[in-house]
A and B are shown apart, each in its own frame.
Chain A
Amino acid sequence: MKNLLKSREFWLATGIIIIIFGVTLRAPGFARFANLADIFNNTSMLIILALGQMVVILTRSIDLSMAANLALSGMIVALINAAYPQFPIPLLMLIASLCGLALGAFNGILVWKLNIPAIVVTLGTLTIFRGTIFLIAGGQWVNASELSDSFIQMTRHNLFGLPLLSWFAILIAIAFFMFMTRTPTGRNLYAIGVNPTASVYAGINVGKAKFISFCISGLMSGFCGFLWVSRYVIGSVEVANGYELTIIAACVIGGISIAGGVGTVVGTILGALFLGIINSALPVINISPFWQMAISGSAIILAVILNARGARTKGRLILKQKNEAET
């Protein structure tokens, strides 16, 4: 019980419920299942991307190229679909995912083999990916009329009362939960974030683990590239522009420490949902959508302050023990 009260996930979940409750007082329809399912569906991609980003941040890196990777992978399948409407959709999904994986692996190799800080690598590849979209599409957009119907309907398919898009998010979230808590690789990622030096002594290949984390974030970006084109029915250079920072925001609100090693799958999902709920609650309670940016900015700052307070008490304790050991 004490642990529960201390956990970030508990308070975040409580916060989300309070917001839903508060908004429902003003607009009775808000808490209906259909509406909540709709919000979840809108947040699905943010959840998937934030989970990918979480893995990278846990290893003390950061992936700024996720949104650009998403846009490039999405553009590639959009172009294929526009040129060959008969091309099987599951194969398109595979191509987008593999493309994202390859781009992520490129980031990972640079971080692993050349030891360039992740923020520099992904800052560079972010602009390279965006530029490449322009090149391969010749500066054109791929819009609704060019995409095949089965592609567009893909994510809207209703299964047991939820669109397929939501199911993807649920399945990926479960997979991540199992990966992070039940597999050695997942645990290694935490170990690296907490103490890279100790991890080396424990026999973990730190560089390779970082490489794997970038492959995961790339894979998620590529997969979401497919989902994005299907959901918003557009492929263009501008797709998901600036979204990389929203993804990081969801992670930070979810309690992922930017210093690495701290954070959970459940927290990340709640962080993404928090942003999603705020976005859809504002218009309902008659606040101009222009407030959205400032509110999510404040939420990030508040989350960082809360994260730091949690970490500080821990840090002091470690320092004390260290001093005792030294004397």
Chain B
Amino acid sequence: MSDNTPKRTLPDRLDSPLKAAFYSWPSLLLAVAIAIFIINSFASPYFLSPWALSDATFNFTEKAVIALAMALLIISGEIDISVAGIIAISSTMMGVALQFGADTPTLVAVGMLTGLICGAFNGALVTKLGLPSIVVTIGTMSLFRGISFIILGDQAYKGYPESFAFFGQGYVYWVISFEFVLFLGLALVYYILLHKTNFGRYIYAIGNNPIAAQFSGVRVARVKFVLFCLTGIMAGVAAVLLTSRLGSTRPSIARGWELEVITMVVLGGINILGGSGTIQGTVIAAFIMGLVTFGLGLLNVPGIVMSIIIGALLIGVIALPTLLNMLRDRLKQ
């Protein structure tokens, strides 16, 4: 390269949409997902059966449902570590409602309403009192799960009605489970909300620069409050699905899920510092985590070992662009 060419030239036009899509994070993830799928189908003869694949979806749909809302929250520059705590308290409240003889629709309403209240509580603490969400939600995580422990102690609620089991165990058509359909439906809703509405643009604006967004007339506090409420409701929905699938409630339900949900979101290419990321990425990341877990499960690899791979994947995919850049710089020199 001759010395008088400038190091960086300004492009006179944007990359073509096709080229941009090809180089985007979701396409990289999709390639990883397809690779995992192919490796899995070679590694185990049982992998490609429709029922096995259907089972695989149960591994991640409940977490993925929360990840959808968490993605929006993280893009806006906040985080919610209390989601697993919200599942515990929502599930417990459903159990309490059951003791009062609630029917299935009431149970679902109680679960989602509890989630909404918890989310609103987080949102109020963060937006009204101006507290950092990461520590506030560590606090509410203990508080919410703590309330479950106070109510339940070492007991468990059982005996949910027959019709309630549909949400976590039912199939809509052949091998397509209700959970899976619900997840895909919600993913579409969140895709439209984030990528096709003004509200979605506000979220990006807030994540990139909350002060500029505020001066541009975006109601920052209200948007954030709504996002906390949405995350709460999604945790409530996950509580309904999980309680229905397990058929019982213990205060230790869904313990440790907060970190898995956040891993899913970050793996999906959402910047943990806020401001960028897509729903497509999050959805594909959910599939990757589900496929890795299930594929290794078929090979009799214990669940905890899979966590090594998930953790390495998380660091790896984020380090990869930086490493490539460093390598490129070194080669240029």
CB contact between B131 and one of A115, A119, A135, A305 (< 8 Å): that residue: A305
User: What is the CA–CA distance of A241 and B256 in the complex, to the nearest angstrom?
Assistant: 9
The yes or no answer to A116 lying at the interface (CB within 8 A) is: yes
A110-B315, A290-B149, A304-B131 known; A123-B262 Cβ under 8 A: yes
Q: Is the pair A258, B134 in contact by a Cβ cutoff of 8 Å?
A: yes
Q: Which of B65-73, B135-143, B171-179, B235-243 contacts A (4 or more CB under 8 A)?
A: B135-143
The yes or no answer to B129 lying at the interface (CB within 8 A) is: yes
A114-B323, A117-B272, A294-B142 known; A128-B307 Cβ under 8 A: yes
* Chain A residues, CB < 8 A from B134: 62, 119, 258
Q: Is the pair A291, B308 in contact by a Cβ cutoff of 8 Å?
A: no
* Chain B residues, CB < 8 A from A130: 304, 307
Q: Is the pair B143, A298 in contact by a Cβ cutoff of 8 Å?
A: yes
Closest Cβ neighbor of B149 among chain A residues: A290
A120-B266, A124-B312, A125-B311 known; A131-B139 Cβ under 8 A: no
Closest Cβ neighbor of A133 among chain B residues: B304
Interface residues of B in 251-297 (CB under 8 A from A): 251, 255-256, 259, 262-263, 266, 272-273
User: What is the CA–CA distance of A299 and B147 in the complex, to the nearest angstrom?
Assistant: 14
* Chain A residues, CB < 8 A from B53: none
Closest Cβ neighbor of B258 among chain A residues: A245
The yes or no answer to B145 lying at the interface (CB within 8 A) is: yes
Closest Cβ neighbor of A252 among chain B residues: B135
User: What is the CA–CA distance of A292 and B153 in the complex, to the nearest angstrom?
Assistant: 11
Q: Is the pair B315, A294 in contact by a Cβ cutoff of 8 Å?
A: no
Q: Is the pair A242, B311 in contact by a Cβ cutoff of 8 Å?
A: no
User: What is the CA–CA distance of A237 and B142 in the complex, to the nearest angstrom?
Assistant: 22
Q: Is the pair A132, B308 in contact by a Cβ cutoff of 8 Å?
A: yes
* Chain A residues, CB < 8 A from B314: 120, 123-124, 127
Q: Is the pair B302, A115 in contact by a Cβ cutoff of 8 Å?
A: no
Write the nearest CB–CB distance from B152 to chain A, whole angstroms.
8
Q: Is the pair B311, A308 in contact by a Cβ cutoff of 8 Å?
A: no
Return the CB mask of B310-332 against A: 1 if under 8 Å, else 0.
Answer: 11101100110011000000000
User: What is the CA–CA distance of A128 and B263 in the complex, to the nearest angstrom?
Assistant: 12
- Do most interface residues of chain A lie in helix, strand or loop, or is the interface mixed? helix
CB contact between B315 and one of A120, A242, A290 (< 8 Å): that residue: A120
User: What is the CA–CA distance of A120 and B138 in the complex, to the nearest angstrom?
Assistant: 16
Q: Is the pair A134, B305 in contact by a Cβ cutoff of 8 Å?
A: yes
How big is chain B's contact interface, by range? Answer: 35 or more
A116-B319, A292-B146 known; A304-B263 Cβ under 8 A: no
Q: Is the pair A128, B311 in contact by a Cβ cutoff of 8 Å?
A: yes
Closest Cβ neighbor of B251 among chain A residues: A290
Write the nearest CB–CB distance from B291 to chain A, whole angstroms.
17
The yes or no answer to B45 lying at the interface (CB within 8 A) is: no
Q: Is the pair B139, A304 in contact by a Cβ cutoff of 8 Å?
A: yes
Write the nearest CB–CB distance from B238 to chain A, whole angstroms.
19
Q: Is the pair A124, B130 in contact by a Cβ cutoff of 8 Å?
A: no
User: What is the CA–CA distance of A304 and B143 in the complex, to the nearest angstrom?
Assistant: 14
User: What is the CA–CA distance of A196 and B96 in the complex, to the nearest angstrom?
Assistant: 50
User: What is the CA–CA distance of A253 and B310 in the complex, to the nearest angstrom?
Assistant: 32
A296-B142, A298-B143 known; A127-B136 Cβ under 8 A: no
* Chain B residues, CB < 8 A from A126: 259, 311
Write the nearest CB–CB distance from B55 to chain A, whole angstroms.
23
Q: Is the pair B130, A297 in contact by a Cβ cutoff of 8 Å?
A: no
Q: Is the pair A249, B146 in contact by a Cβ cutoff of 8 Å?
A: no
Q: Is the pair B139, A119 in contact by a Cβ cutoff of 8 Å?
A: no
Q: Is the pair B139, A297 in contact by a Cβ cutoff of 8 Å?
A: yes
Closest Cβ neighbor of A301 among chain B residues: B139
The yes or no answer to B132 lying at the interface (CB within 8 A) is: yes
Q: Is the pair B140, A259 in contact by a Cβ cutoff of 8 Å?
A: no
* Chain A residues, CB < 8 A from B310: 127
* Residue positions of B touching A, CB distance < 8 A: 81, 125, 129-132, 134-136, 138-147, 149-150, 152-154, 251, 255-256, 259, 262-263, 266, 272-273, 302, 304-312, 314-315, 318-319, 322-323
With A128-B311, A139-B304, A312-B130 already in contact, 6 other A-B pairs whose C-beta atoms are closer than 8 Å:
A121-B315, A131-B307, A245-B138, A259-B132, A301-B139, A304-B136
Q: Would you mind naming 22 contact pairs between A and B with Cβ atoms under 8 Å apart?
A: A110-B315, A119-B134, A120-B272, A120-B315, A123-B266, A123-B311, A123-B314, A125-B311, A127-B259, A127-B310, A128-B307, A130-B304, A131-B309, A132-B308, A139-B304, A249-B142, A258-B135, A290-B153, A290-B154, A297-B143, A299-B139, A300-B142
5 cross-chain pairs, A with B, having the tightest CB-CB distances, nearest first:
A294-B146, A297-B142, A297-B143, A131-B308, A300-B139
